[in-house]
Amino acid sequence: MIPGYHGKYLRLDLSNKIMDFPEIGSDIYSQVIGGVGLGVWILTRETPAGYDPLSPDAALVFALSPLVGTPLTTSAKFAVIAKSPLTNRICDAMCSSHFAMAAKKVGVDAICIKGKLEEPSILFIDGTGDEPIRFSLSTAAPYLGDTAAETERKIRLESGTDWQIISIGLAGEMQIPFATLSHDGRHAGRGGLGAVLGSKNIKAIAVRGDKRTNMANPNETMKIARSLSERSFTPATAKYRELGTVANLLVFNRFESLPTRNFQEGSFLEVESLTQHDLAPARKIAKNSCAACTIGCEHIYSLKSDKGENTKGVRMEYESLFALGPLCGISDPEMVLKASALCDEFGLDTISTGGTIAFLMECLDKRFIPQGSDLNITPKFGDGESVLSLIHDMMSPNPSEIAQLLKLGSRNAAHQIGQNSIAFAQQVKGLEMPGYHPRKLHAMALGMAVGSRGADHNRTGAYEVDFSEHDRSAHSVALAVIETEDKAAIMDSLILCKFIRGVFQDFFQESAEMLSAVTGSCYTKDLLIESAKLIVRMRKAFNQREGWSPEEDALPESIFAQDSKEESYLTKTRLEDLIKHYNAGRGFSDDGWLSDLQMQCISRLGSDHSTK
Amino acid sequence: MAVIPRFGAIILCGGQSRRMGFSKALLPFGKETMIENAIHILDQIASEIVVVASPDQILPEITSEIRIVRDPIAYQGPLTGMQSGLRHISDQIDSVFITATDSPLLHPELILQLFKQSETYDLIMPFDGKYYYPLTSVYKVKPVLEKVEQLIREDRHRPFFLMEELHSKTIHVNELKEFDPYLDSFRNINTPVDYRNILRISSMTIPEEFHAPAVNVEFYGVPRLITKVANATLEAENLVELISELSRNFPELKGPVIVNETLHPAYRFMRGTSEFLMDLQTPLVANDKILILAVDAGG
Ligand code: SF4
């Protein structure tokens, strides 16, 4: 057995209640590593082309990685991979903490869930003791409607705290296409992975185990771990330690890149009112971190009850702050915290929720939706109460017309509304855009347009290019974007938290050293870069199999400068040029198809892809 | 402080002041000029002072007790200046402290200490691990003048040769901290930036014509959290000066954001939102908006 790995994944067919353990060859590990890379490989081979992401055919993969369970800081992470019901394209999301370590101790490198149960259930996977790995099911009836956090708490109370649990909230049960899946308050947020689990009639998965993998070179691993931990205390990570991602708000506002009122503007006049205390929307009451992390980027803010008392803490990230604040024109920090807490409780992706609401607000402003009496709620830019009501309404048994539009996500809502409203549905491939107005951030614009899971800021670090000195030629920007995407592919496959990226001198080299120390295989910088490229291609290949077409790699029309009054504004031609160079840099055809040779390499990995 | 018998001082003020762009001797320093300031300090300790100027150099009115000698030819370097000074000091003087006019913060206690330690040596020269300070040193008149003349004859113009070829002693500046805790005696003025920095640490007003452009610094993220302000107006002609102004006005930035008199690599300067300032010598212009940001923007 290769150190760091268990050599197999767990495949559970819920419809037939059959569990087996397909082997994973060492050649696969050496190329896809783990996490996202391993996950996309499993997803591809476990699903038929063109399947419905919410059908029993769909697979939901939880992929672990060789670094999980090692002393390397920020490595307690897992990847969740499925076809997104929001985009019908690949969705790979990260989540962290104890679930990752417990799932790996089950004795497998990934868990692949297929089929569908008849009744809502809790799935237990037990890898403790000398008996073979086993699973059991119990009814989810007592937990239905509960928040994910509450479900976790109850299950652990009843079944024991050695279980680690991922769960969905009501949104997942309702299969809302942007429902999250969460563990210990952290969400695999984007793309509706919670709906995929909900579609299988599973409310929560509990895992435990005692199977450890060993490290090929524990001394060397310890040495690297120590150095990494030390570096994680330097100014390179201070932003995350001291402020968390909310620090982005004022910077983006200054760069006119803070999406405001459905991306109609790039800066928000009232931004300062959202940064009252220590540059955050409210007084900070606690700090938290994932398991095995020395940075600790989670900042918890106090939320006042209606009577004005501080009742509970809300975790706040930049993406939630932007999406439920400036994007909807909201400057009241209490409202943003309340909306964010509400999304958390229902298990809704804050970006897609805020993004779709902001889109509906603009539609109403433009009179694309008649403001008749059938609308009991009229969401308006700046009106926080209307945001809260609309979310509640969507989650009610009889949502109003506008809430039903919200439920679709912005792209599908735009298709229903028509009138070319798709031009300002701020999404790519159906995934609502994150908090980066791409009008002036050309690299980010490219990163979001070509991203395999849609408009995304996690599977690419393209914004890093915009925020540093760079050559603005399309060729250079495209190459730089490719590099950040490659880096992210490796970070997400190792897995390490992206917030530690600032401490590396030579990321690929240091990653190769880490992997070599843990697995004993001889990784090199070049091999890892090859792996990164392969992983990016595998995601693209999956999308091609599921019906991708070149027109999808685009941004909404409203983003582009109509007249180029400002030279730095993105035009459609510029984006097309960037995409062309990106495709060339990736070795794709001009319009973005994988080459035959690239397809063959992927097929050789044992995945079943049929293209076009 | 009492004057030391048989101890003199030589002030070399005929330098070119090229980088300063203004005669250093005439630079205002408080109510005086730099040359007057040097004379005042040295007067407390030296029983005789000789000022060495270049042939046509304009000097302020200087009391008649001070002898002013002119180099025969301008800008021949410090050794020629030393030669003129040593030749004109009176026979009553055995050893001298030699300085230029551009070190306005000389501490008499430190000079006294150099004098005391110079006893059996021809010269004593401070050293900070990297640089020697021949123009903050004590010399014996006779042997040094002989050597200076020899060196000039041989066309070897570096004061460092004196140290090599005479019976000399070096002293690490740290050993002198007891007498000048911040080693201000070794701060000298070569540029307007140096000049302003010395005025600032001495809490003196910067004369109108020497002001640097006023720029607006905007703090983001951790720097803003630390300084507790969104922005500040500071005067600086380049980023080096800006960093020292930041350190002076916001000492709490030292460590987390400013390390070794430069910005920690986790941060960077921008002018507006499109120009990345990578070179610390980049000249700043009045009303520039200088942003201090984490390199790790986004995420
Ligand atoms: S930096 Fe934040 S997200 Fe990353 S591992 Fe640490 S606590 Fe978790």
Nearest CA in chain B to A258: B298
Helix, strand, or coil (residue A415): helix
Tell whether the model's pLDDT for residue A377 goes beyond 90: no
Cβ–Cβ below 8 Å for B256 and A467: no
Give the per-residue pLDDT at A466: 93
**What is the per-residue pLDDT for A313?**
87
Residues paired with B12 in a beta bridge: B52, B100
**Looking at the predicted structure, is the pLDDT value of residue A375 above 90?**
no
Q: Tell me if A464 and B297 make a contact (CB, 8 A cut-off).
A: yes
Cβ–ligand 1 contact at A290 (below 6 Å): yes
Q: What mean pLDDT is predicted for residues A528-547?
A: 98
Distances in Å between the alpha carbon of A410 and those of A96, A340, B67, B127, B291?
Answer: 28, 19, 88, 70, 36
The whole-angstrom separation of Cα A360 and Cα A367 is 10
Query: What is the pLDDT at residue A293?
Result: 93
A295 CB under 6 A from ligand 1? yes
How far is A183 from A202, CA to CA, in rounded Å?
14
Quickly state the pLDDT bin for A382 (edges 50, 70, 90).
Answer: very high
Is A76 near ligand 1, meaning CB less than 6 Å away? no
Cα separation, A354 vs A301, whole angstroms: 20
Q: Do B299 and A499 touch (CB under 8 A)?
A: yes
Per the prediction, chain B carries an average pLDDT of 94
Q: Which domains does chain A have, with CATH numbers?
A: 10-209 (3.60.9.10), 227-428 (1.10.569.10), 438-604 (1.10.599.10)
Q: How does pLDDT run across A479-517, given as a tens digit for each residue?
A: 999 999 999 999 999 999 999 999 999 999 999 999 999
Whole-number Cα distances in Å, A127 to A203, A351, B117? 20, 36, 79
pLDDT digits (tens, 9 = 90+) for A408-428: 999 999 999 999 999 999 999
Locate B188 and state its tokens.
């000298």
pLDDT more than 90, % of chain A: 90
- Using CA atoms, how far residue A83 sits from A9, A298, A539, B276, in Å, is 19, 28, 11, 40
User: In chain B, which residues fall in CATH 3.90.550.10?
Assistant: 4-201
Residues in chain B where the model's pLDDT stays below 50: none
Q: Tokens in use for A571?
A: 């035009």
* Mean pLDDT value of segment A42-58: 98
Q: Which two tokens stand for residue A597?
A: 């040779």
SS (H, E, C) B130-156: CCECCCEEEEEHHHHHHHHHHHHHCCC
pLDDT value at A139 more than 50: yes
Give yes or no for B194 touching A (CB within 8 A). Answer: no
Residues in A touching B224 (Cβ below 8 Å): 250, 279
Peptide bond into A495 cis (omega under 30): yes
Mean pLDDT of chain A: 94
One-character DSSP codes across A27-55: HHHHHH-SHHHHHHHHHHHHS-TT--TTS
Which H/E stretch holds residue A149? helix A148-159
CATH class of B212-298: alpha beta
Is the pLDDT reported for residue A565 higher than 70?
no
B243-to-A93, A315, B217 alpha-carbon distances in Å: 41, 35, 11
The distance of Cα A61 from the centroid of its chain, to the nearest Å, equals: 14
pLDDT band at A609 (very low <50, low <70, confident <90, very high): very low
Q: ∠ CA B218-B222-B223 to the nearest 5 degrees?
A: 40
Q: What is the sign of the dihedral through the CA atoms of B241, B247, B250 and B254?
A: positive
pLDDT at A564: 61
Q: How confident is the model at residue A610 (pLDDT cuts 50, 70, 90)?
A: very low
First to last CA, chain A: 38
A474 Cα–ligand 1 center, Å: 33
Over residues A553-561, mean pLDDT? 95
Question: Pick from A462, A453, A421: which is nearest to A536 by CA?
Answer: A453
First to last CA, chain B: 62
What does the pLDDT read at residue B233?
Answer: 98
| DSSP conformational letter for B253 | G
Q: Do A239 and B224 touch (CB under 8 A)?
A: no
Is 3.30.70.260 the CATH classification of the domain at B4-201?
Answer: no
Q: What is the pLDDT of residue A305?
A: 72
**Cα–Cα distance between A520 and A549 in angstroms, integer?**
41
B229 touching A (Cβ < 8 Å): no
The answer to whether A574 and A473 have CB atoms below 8 angstroms apart is no
- What pLDDT is stored for residue B18 in this prediction? 85
Asked if A356 and A413 touch (Cβ cutoff 8 Å), the reply is: yes
- The pairing of beta strand A110-114 with beta strand A10-13: parallel
- What pLDDT shows up at residue A308? 67
Q: Where in chain B is the domain with CATH 3.10.20.30?
A: 212-298
Contact A242 B224 (CB under 8 A): no
Asked whether A57 and A48 are in contact (CB, 8 A), the reply is yes
Which residue CA neighbors atom 4 of ligand 1 most closely? A497
What value of ipTM does the predicted structure carry? 0.91
pLDDT(A608) > 70: no
pLDDT at A374 over 70: no
Q: Is A240 in the pocket of ligand 1 (CB under 6 A)?
A: yes
